[in-house]
Chain A
Amino acid sequence: DQQVKQNSPSLSVQEGRISILNCDYTNSMFDYFLWYKKYPAEGPTFLISISSIKDKNEDGRFTVFLNKSAKHLSLHIVPSQPGDSAVYFCAALTPYGSSNTGKLIFGQGTTLQVKP
């Protein structure tokens, strides 16, 4: 049972345009979310995070939006650059105090290709 889902395996955008990567989750107890980026032959690297007390967090060209009622988050990259081409994973933190305390649950990943 996939608790964190990225339903789009791939996304292709033109350089300079906006990239929007989506992520859905099923557990309303999740209260912290992270996005990671992964290049081939490297480990995932942290990109941006958001707490459930916020609905938006911005860091340069990257913005994460959280819609708690829809259990949905999205990562916006504006403007997209060819160097952004990578696999993007969203992850949710399991709540502390539960049997699954303090672990990250990852989505399947979305491969972004930014064309020059």
Chain B
Amino acid sequence: DADVTQTPRNRITKTGKRIMLECSQTKGHDRMYWYRQDPGLGLRLIYYSFDVKDINKGEISDGYSVSRQAQAKFSLSLESAIPNQTALYFCATSDFRAGTETQYFGPGTRLLVL
């Protein structure tokens, strides 16, 4: 079983709809992240959480919100989806307590906003 899972893997929605992307991890890591990937722009950080009670905005948080329901779960919401939020979304985890900066990524969610 994958250590970092994302649901759904693909989603098509319409402008103005609210959608939620979910991430779960079995790695026991304390830190979790949401990124989006766009062609030519690499991976950009949306939100990150260093523990359950800690939520921080990344470089492109406008139009997004997150919830860290438990150490293992970190969800990303688009309150009112717009077409320029069409992208590939990745969740990642890292284990700061282990003294490593390596992040482990889920398989991604491909989102299309019409």
Q: Do A and B come from one complex?
A: yes
- Give chain B interface residues in 83-114, CB to chain A under 8 Å: 90, 92, 96, 101-108
A41 interface contact, C-beta 8 A? yes
- Residues in chain A near residue B4, CB distance under 8 A: 43
Q: Does any Cβ of A come within 8 Å of B48's Cβ?
A: yes
Is residue A103 within 8 Å, beta carbon to beta carbon, of the partner chain?
A: yes
User: Per a CB cutoff under 8 Å, which of A41, A43, A49 touches B102?
Assistant: A49
Cβ 8 A contact of A42, one of B43, B50, B107: B107
B: number of interface residues (CB 8 Å): 22
Residue in B closest to A33 when the chains form the complex, CB atoms: B101
Give chain B residues whose Cβ lies under 8 Å from the Cβ of A4.
42
Instruction: Find A89's partner among B40, B43, B92 (CB 8 Å cutoff).
Output: B43
A42 touches B101 (CB 8 A): no
* B-binding segment of A13-21, A64-72, A75-83, A104-112: A104-112
Asked if A103 and B42 sit within 8 Å, CB to CB, the answer is no
Asked if B73 is an interface residue, CB under 8 A from chain A, the answer is: no
26 contacts between A and B (CB under 8 A): A6-B42, A9-B40, A32-B101, A34-B101, A41-B107, A42-B108, A43-B90, A43-B106, A43-B108, A44-B43, A44-B90, A44-B105, A46-B102, A49-B101, A49-B102, A89-B42, A93-B101, A102-B50, A102-B96, A102-B101, A103-B45, A103-B48, A106-B43, A106-B44, A107-B42, A108-B40
Q: Which residues of A contact B (CB under 8 A)?
A: 4, 6, 9, 32, 34, 36, 41-46, 49, 89, 91, 93, 102-104, 106-109
